[in-house]
Amino acid sequence: MFEHEEDVVQRVVQQLRRPVAIDPALDARVMQAIAKPEPPARSIWPWLAAAAVLVSLIIWRPWSRSAEAESATFQFVLVAPQATSVSLVGDFNDWDPKRSPMRTANGIWATVVQLAPGRYRYAYLVNGAEWRADPGAPTVPPPDDEFGKPSSVVTVGGKGS
């Protein structure tokens, strides 16, 4: 004997309303993606952005420094609601916790760094003592992890290749 249509739909809806698994690293990918291009448009911002680019070109003279010219801005994000401080440390900042302190909004810690193409090891230092790998990036495997504390790897590719 078949169920009444209403009961079937209710069972289907009940099933479909269950939470689905979403990649925990998705938030970090979104934050990293939005850190790269221009901020949300406002009427004056395009002019400010153009001025900033002009000033940058004058100061950095990228035509004479090819590595910097290829570098791009990356935002690193860690969700750590209980943390009181988080620092990003890695091959790009001499593993110095003071160089890239992260700012928080509602437990989402973020900071921005410039990276030229290359392969970098990095980690998050939480509350000045706890080491965490980035859940959204490849982890340094055990044979390559000489210091017994987790690290992640980010590889930045070339723009033209």
> Is 85 among the residues that bind other proteins (CB under 8 A)?
no
> Is 47 among the residues that bind other proteins (CB under 8 A)?
no
Amino acid at 145: D
> Is 77 among the residues that bind other proteins (CB under 8 A)?
yes
CB-CB neighbours of 147 under 10 Å: 9
Residue 46 three-state SS: helix
* CA–CA dist 25, 23 (Å, integer): 5
* CA–CA dist 11, 1 (Å, integer): 16
> Is 82 among the residues that bind other proteins (CB under 8 A)?
no
* Sheet order of strands, 72-79 included: 72-79, 108-115, 103-105
Q: 62 burial class (0-12, 13-18, 19+ CB within 10 angstroms)?
A: middle
Binding other proteins (rule: CB under 8 A), the pick from 86, 110, 113, 133 is 110
Q: Which is nearer to other proteins, 19 or 47 (CB)?
A: 19
CB of 31 to other proteins, least distance (A): 6
Binding other proteins (rule: CB under 8 A), the pick from 69, 108, 132, 135 is 108
CB of 156 to other proteins, least distance (A): 5
Contact region for other proteins (CB under 8 A) — 21-29, 47-55, 56-64? 21-29
Binding other proteins (rule: CB under 8 A), the pick from 69, 117, 132, 135 is 117
> Is 128 among the residues that bind other proteins (CB under 8 A)?
no
Binding other proteins (rule: CB under 8 A), the pick from 46, 101, 128, 157 is 157
* CA–CA dist 39, 49 (Å, integer): 9
Binding other proteins (rule: CB under 8 A), the pick from 44, 47, 59, 146 is 146
CB of 59 to other proteins, least distance (A): 21
CB-CB neighbours of 69 under 10 Å: 14
